């Protein structure tokens, strides 16, 4: 019986192969298939790129019409020179895939609610949220619109898609990106729909906060009552310095939205809260998603030519949202930051002008409460009768589990996001339909496609007029000396507070009464003060004839800081603009600190608290990385706000929105008897600001002493800024970066959020441009180009961007590699 050793040995071998070829569960995550992952010819080792890799290549692609030359510079930025536009976008798609394929796949999976398909049932809440929000619905509508009405954009996106897929087809499976191997799935072909899904994700990131904040504000109003609510969440921003200077005269509005007759009783003072069912975690984009941009006219610069600066503030991720590229064809030549997932340059410049964007922050998403006839949800009450709700079916595939099917009742408003089958702690059992401009057909990236080719102000106005969602402040500077800013998007003509809360869904008078015509959107060209700027503040003062949305959507202080600096500057150089983008002055604290000190009863403080107050008072009001004073100020401020309104907000069954800092500062400055200061939990005693500020400082001191013990009082150590890999795995991220800045600061770098692309463009004859983003051109964690810009970014430094004609670029010493794209071998 000599078969026995064979059988035993075979069983051991096969078992070992099986174990090493299986994803093992480690806690809530799954390991890669270890044998595969560690195999030097298949697994992660294949992604360990030589530090001195030669990126030269010759690629045959029969989809091309002509030949394309790509030169990579020393930062791995491709400079694409193509015979025609479609070939250029084909190659842009190819390069995005070559360097960022996993990220492109992952981001569109998030947007389309397809994470469970690769990661299992743990991700179902996220997938359901995005499905019910109508992300796929919106992308499909845009795709259908472009296919039917816009052959030029269809061609562009098709060429881009073909380029991505040409790369995937040529890729050896052993070379597929690291994360696919780690998570054990494979890339699938790109489609135009994925590009539109990606753009939907940007709409969500920049306008989707209302999907959560409208519910929170409604619950906050229900909990506090409208009168107290209106105090804590006031729409009056006394210190507002709007994008369009105060005193600008606006033309007569073409739409005068009429507030429904019953709005006071049935809407503002309404309270509809019912029981909580089926709890799921709500998601919300970061409140600080915002940005700075500005342009200074030649009258304020050393050269006499305009300078433009743009730095979008978004979540800090690796691989970065951005990918630098130059695209040069016979029709145009442009350079800037592009989105892996979309053709064209998004923020950048061409040989005539430069442009940048910040988020408009306008409310373009509303909820309407729906009454269904019965539990089938087939009919809903609207306009005095029962109406049919067609069902939209969304099938979510789940790894190692059965499909989950969402049946979403479609109403006159839009998809019913929340119903008996889908609730979260904020929706409180209501049936809520969502109306969102991102669901309306959009023109995709046509605005940016046209900006890439724009020659002057008129082209810029035409290009931006096509933009619908997310609303943006488009800044412009041209070589010929024009500067301008326009807030553009598809904006609802609202009556005061329309859509801040959930609206009645049966009443036609609560419908949107029209969209504001493009030419009435806030715009300014070549203003007398010699600059234009925006930093997510309200675009206009109260004389603008339309309601912009609740003040909590509009941060105040960055705008004030930008304008204060720009007003004081003259003889400006590009370096001055870089210094301003990385400026750490804290104008909020400059107002808030003296306001606090006005009330602080220093003689009542403990010795430790006195020491902390000294630290705060000796601080130079700059959020530099090694400052301790800012850490003390931040914690003191938070403790004081908690002391002032924590008691009012306490006891709510759902998380409430915190009131904004400006509300307290304004009250501290003008009213020492603000009723909110009283602690309502102490009976028979009325507290005032003096009591609460002093209490706040004492409470803060306890926390500060702990931080001091841990040696974390220094701002950068306390703040712990990091650039996280999209999977949130720390080993693939960059943690604890030495960088200052923060909330309310021009250098808006917080814990995981901040300037995601910094660009300064001096509109000289040759275009003098600088820029960088916190990441690297390669999405491969095994590449030296994965995080190559991060230290430079943290240090506030800039790269000179190479924007040259082909012959000059070839000769430039920073040009390193050449990738040749040819139609055939011939």
Partner 1 sequence: MKYIVSILLSALLAYAVGIYGNLPWWSFVVTNFIIAFAIPIKPAHSFTAGALGVGSLWAGLAFGIDMANNHILSTKVAKVLTIGDSYLLVIFMTVAIGTLLGGLASLTGSFLRNSK
Task: Indicate which single residue of 56, 58, 155, 173 sits in contact with partner 1 (rule: CB under 8 A).
Answer: 173
Q: Closest approach of Cβ 776 to partner 1, in Å? A: 12
Could you give the dihedral angle defined by the CA atoms of residues 746, 750, 753 and 758, in that order, rounded to the nearest 10 degrees? 30
Name the residue nearer to partner 1 (CB basis): 45 or 386.
45
168 near partner 1, rule: CB under 8 A: no
Q: Which residues contact 208 (CB under 8 A, 6 or more apart)?
A: 133, 284, 285, 365, 436, 438
**Contact track, partner 1, 713-752, x by CB under 8 A:** ----------------xxxx--------------------
For 646, the 3-state DSSP assignment is helix
Q: In this chain, which stretch among 323-331, 413-421, 649-657, 781-789 interacts with partner 1, using CB under 8 A?
A: 781-789
Whether residue 404 contacts residue 123, with contact meaning beta carbons closer than 8 Å, is answered with no
HEC string of 472-515 equals EEEEEEECCCCEEEEEECCCECCCCCCCCCCEECCCHHHCCCCE
CA distances from 472 to 111, 206, 488, 755 (A): 21, 9, 6, 16
Q: Closest approach of Cβ 723 to partner 1, in Å? A: 14
Q: Closest approach of Cβ 23 to partner 1, in Å? A: 13
Could you give the dihedral angle defined by the CA atoms of residues 8, 13, 17 and 22, in that order, rounded to the nearest 10 degrees? 30
Distance between CA atoms of residues 57 and 821, nearest Å = 9
Task: Indicate which single residue of 490, 550, 563, 783 sits in contact with partner 1 (rule: CB under 8 A).
Answer: 783
Name the residue nearer to partner 1 (CB basis): 50 or 252.
50
- Show the DSSP H helices in 225-322 as ranges: 226-232, 263
25 near partner 1, rule: CB under 8 A: no
Q: In this chain, which stretch among 77-85, 133-141, 528-536, 780-788 interacts with partner 1, using CB under 8 A?
A: 780-788
Task: Indicate which single residue of 94, 160, 178, 789 sits in contact with partner 1 (rule: CB under 8 A).
Answer: 178
Token digits of residue 217: 């504000």
Token digits of residue 572: 């400006």
Element (H, E) at 382: strand 379-382
Q: Closest approach of Cβ 97 to partner 1, in Å? A: 17
185 near partner 1, rule: CB under 8 A: no
782 near partner 1, rule: CB under 8 A: yes
28 near partner 1, rule: CB under 8 A: no
Q: In this chain, which stretch among 113-121, 159-167, 174-182, 657-665 interacts with partner 1, using CB under 8 A?
A: 174-182
Beta-strand relationship, 815-822 and 68-73: antiparallel
Name the residue nearer to partner 1 (CB basis): 36 or 495.
36
Residues 47-86 contacting partner 1, CB under 8 A:
47-52
188 near partner 1, rule: CB under 8 A: no
Name the residue nearer to partner 1 (CB basis): 754 or 781.
781
**Contact track, partner 1, 94-133, x by CB under 8 A:** ----------------------------------------
268 near partner 1, rule: CB under 8 A: no
Say which residue the tokens 């130059």 belong to: 326
- Number of other CB atoms surrounding residue 119 within 10 Å: 21
Name the residue nearer to partner 1 (CB basis): 732 or 767.
732
Residues 29-48 contacting partner 1, CB under 8 A:
31, 34-36, 38-45, 47-48
Q: Closest approach of Cβ 783 to partner 1, in Å? A: 8
For 301, the 3-state DSSP assignment is strand
- Going 546 to 242 to 537 to 201, the CA torsion angle's sign is positive
Name the residue nearer to partner 1 (CB basis): 36 or 792.
36
Name the residue nearer to partner 1 (CB basis): 13 or 236.
13
Distance between CA atoms of residues 343 and 444, nearest Å = 10
Residues present in the chain in total: 826
Distance between CA atoms of residues 332 and 452, nearest Å = 7
Distance between CA atoms of residues 380 and 311, nearest Å = 45
Q: Give residue 374's region: left, alpha or beta (phi > 0; psi -120 to 50).
A: beta
Whether residue 536 contacts residue 548, with contact meaning beta carbons closer than 8 Å, is answered with no
Q: In this chain, which stretch among 20-28, 471-479, 702-710, 747-755 interacts with partner 1, using CB under 8 A?
A: 20-28
Name the residue nearer to partner 1 (CB basis): 176 or 365.
176
261 near partner 1, rule: CB under 8 A: no
> CA nearest 377: which of 423, 427, 421, 413?
421
Task: Indicate which single residue of 59, 60, 174, 717 sits in contact with partner 1 (rule: CB under 8 A).
Answer: 174
Q: Closest approach of Cβ 95 to partner 1, in Å? A: 21
Judged by the rule CB under 8 A, the positions of this chain that interact with partner 1 are: 2-3, 5-6, 9-10, 12-13, 16-17, 20-21, 26, 31, 34-36, 38-45, 47-52, 172-175, 178, 182, 729-732, 781-784, 786
């Amino acid at each position: 019986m000599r078969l026995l050793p064979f059988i035993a040995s075979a069983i051991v071998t096969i078992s070992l192969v099986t174990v090493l070829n299986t994803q093992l569960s480690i806690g809530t995550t799954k390991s890669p298939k270890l044998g595969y992952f560690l195999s030097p010819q298949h697994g992660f080792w294949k992604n360990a790129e030589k530090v001195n890799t030669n990126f030269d290549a010759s690629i045959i692609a029969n989809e091309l019409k002509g030949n394309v030359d790509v030169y990579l510079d020393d930062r791995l930025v491709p400079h694409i020179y193509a015979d025609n536009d479609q070939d250029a976008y084909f190659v842009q798609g190819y390069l995005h895939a070559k360097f960022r394929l996993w990220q492109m796949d992952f981001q569109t999976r998030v947007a389309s609610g397809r994470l469970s398909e690769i990661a299992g049932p743990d991700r179902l809440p996220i997938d359901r949220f995005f499905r019910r929000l109508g992300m796929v619905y919106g992308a499909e509508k845009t795709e259908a619109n472009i296919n039917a009405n816009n052959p030029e954009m269809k061609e562009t996106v098709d060429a881009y898609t073909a380029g991505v897929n040409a790369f995937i087809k040529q890729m050896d499976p052993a070379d597929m990106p690291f994360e696919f191997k780690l998570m054990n799935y494979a890339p699938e072909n790109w489609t135009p729909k994925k590009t539109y899904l990606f753009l939907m994700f940007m709409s969500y990131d920049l306008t989707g906060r209302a999907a959560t904040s409208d519910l929170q504000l409604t619950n906050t109003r229900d909990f506090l009552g409208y009168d107290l609510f209106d105090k804590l969440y006031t729409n009056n921003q006394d210190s507002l310095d709007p994008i369009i200077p105060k005193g600008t005269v606006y033309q007569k509005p073409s739409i005068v939205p009429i507030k429904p007759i019953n709005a006071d009783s049935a809407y503002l003072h309404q309270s509809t809260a019912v029981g909580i069912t089926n709890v799921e975690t709500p998601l919300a984009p970061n409140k600080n998603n915002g940005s700075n941009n500005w342009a200074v006219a030649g009258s304020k610069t050393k050269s006499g030519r305009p300078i433009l600066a743009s730095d979008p503030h978004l979540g800090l991720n690796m691989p970065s949202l951005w990918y630098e590229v130059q695209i040069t064809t016979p029709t145009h030549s442009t350079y800037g930051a592009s989105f892996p997932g979309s053709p064209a340059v998004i923020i950048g410049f061409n040989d005539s002008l430069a442009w940048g964007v910040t988020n408009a922050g306008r409310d373009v998403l509303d909820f309407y409460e729906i009454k269904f006839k019965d539990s089938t949800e087939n009919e809903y009450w609207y306009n005095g009768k029962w109406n049919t709700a067609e069902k939209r079916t969304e099938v979510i595939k789940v790894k190692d589990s059965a499909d989950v099917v969402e049946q979403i009742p479609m109403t006159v408003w839009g998809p019913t996001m929340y119903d008996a089958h889908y609730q979260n702690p904020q929706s409180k059992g209501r049936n809520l339909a969502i109306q969102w401009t991102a669901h309306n057909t959009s023109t995709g990236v046509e605005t940016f496609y046209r900006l890439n080719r724009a020659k002057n102000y008129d082209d810029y106005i035409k290009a931006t007029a096509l933009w619908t969602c997310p609303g943006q402040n488009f800044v412009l500077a041209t070589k010929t000396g024009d500067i301008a800013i326009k807030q553009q998007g598809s904006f609802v003509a609202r009556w005061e507070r329309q859509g801040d809360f959930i609206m009645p869904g049966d009443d036609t008078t609560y419908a949107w009464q029209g969209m504001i015509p493009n030419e009435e959107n806030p715009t300014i060209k070549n203003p007398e003060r010699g600059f234009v700027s925006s930093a997510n503040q309200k675009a206009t003062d109260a004389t603008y004839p339309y309601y912009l949305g609740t003040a909590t959507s509009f941060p105040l202080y960055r705008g004030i800081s930008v304008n204060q600096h720009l007003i004081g500057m003259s003889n400006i150089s590009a370096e001055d603009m870089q210094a301003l983008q990385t400026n750490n002055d804290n104008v909020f604290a400059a107002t808030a600190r003296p306001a606090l000190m006005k009330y602080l009863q220093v003689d009542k403080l403990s010795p430790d608290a006195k020491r902390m107050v000294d630290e705060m008072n000796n601080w130079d009001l700059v959020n530099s990385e090694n400052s301790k004073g800012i850490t003390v100020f931040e914690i003191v401020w938070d403790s004081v706000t908690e002391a002032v309104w924590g008691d009012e907000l306490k006891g709510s069954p759902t998380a409430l929105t915190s009131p904004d800092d400006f509300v307290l500062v304004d009250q501290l400055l003008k009213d020492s008897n603000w009723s909110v200061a009283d602690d309502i939990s102490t009976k028979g005693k009325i507290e005032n600001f003096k009591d609460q500020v002093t209490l706040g400082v004492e409470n803060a001191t306890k926390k500060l002493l702990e931080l001091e013990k841990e040696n974390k009082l220094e701002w950068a150590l306390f703040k712990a800024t990091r650039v996280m890999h999209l999977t949130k795995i720390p080993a693939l991220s960059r943690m604890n970066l030495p960088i200052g800045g923060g909330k309310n600061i021009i250098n808006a770098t917080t814990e995981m959020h901040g300037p995601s692309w910094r660009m300064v463009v001096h509109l000289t004859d040759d275009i003098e441009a600088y820029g960088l983003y916190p990441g690297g051109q390669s999405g491969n964690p095994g590449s030296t180009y994965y995080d190559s810009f991060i230290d430079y970014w943290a240090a506030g430094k800039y790269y000179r961007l190479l924007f040259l004609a082909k012959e000059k670029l070839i000769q430039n010493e920073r040009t390193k590699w050449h990738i040749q794209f040819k139609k055939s071998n011939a």
